[in-house]
Amino acid sequence: MKIREHFHTELFRKFWLTEFIIELLNNRRKEVRNQSEVEEEDPQADVSQGGAESGRTASVQKQWIESRTVQIEEQKLQIKVELLELEKQRFRWERFSEKRDQELERMRMENERMKLENDRMGLELKQRELGVEL
């Protein structure tokens, strides 16, 4: 049971980290987009900052962020798949465990019934012995 909880916790941690990284990348993408918009609005800024070079840098950054976002989304989906698989295994285990517990309970009740039957027969035997002695 502790192993299952560990896997579940580990997957949750991975899922949370990917969500956090996606949020950071989205924020960075917004920054790059805003920077590109400022450069497009102010052509003098391009000249003072190196012009085409800064535009290329922003474009490369934007492409990198988008590709990294796609990678992280893929990782996120993979983690969700693993999480679903673990949930499916947990469900199967719980179903199996329930059946086993029910069977054990039936056996306990049968044992108790047999003990009571033995006690009853023992008392009946003693009663017959006492009846014969009188």
Q: pLDDT at position 121, please?
A: 97
Q: Which of 4-13, 65-74, 108-117 has the highest mean pLDDT?
A: 108-117
Q: How confident is the model at residue 17 (pLDDT cuts 50, 70, 90)?
A: confident
Cβ atoms of residues 72 and 22 within 8 Å: yes
Q: What gap in Å lies between CA 1 and CA 56, rounded to an integer?
A: 53
Residues in CB range of 52: below 8 A, 6 or more apart: 46
Count the neighbouring beta carbons within 10 Å of the beta carbon of residue 113: 10
Count the neighbouring beta carbons within 10 Å of the beta carbon of residue 84: 11
Given a cut of 90, whether residue 115 has pLDDT beyond it is: yes
Q: What gap in Å lies between CA 62 and CA 28, rounded to an integer?
A: 9
Residue ranges covered by each domain of the chain: 2-99
Q: What is the pTM of this model?
A: 0.45
Q: What gap in Å lies between CA 39 and CA 57, rounded to an integer?
A: 12
Average pLDDT of the segment spanning 120-125: 96
Q: What gap in Å lies between CA 87 and CA 131, rounded to an integer?
A: 65
Q: What gap in Å lies between CA 26 and CA 21, rounded to an integer?
A: 8
Average pLDDT of the segment spanning 9-31: 75
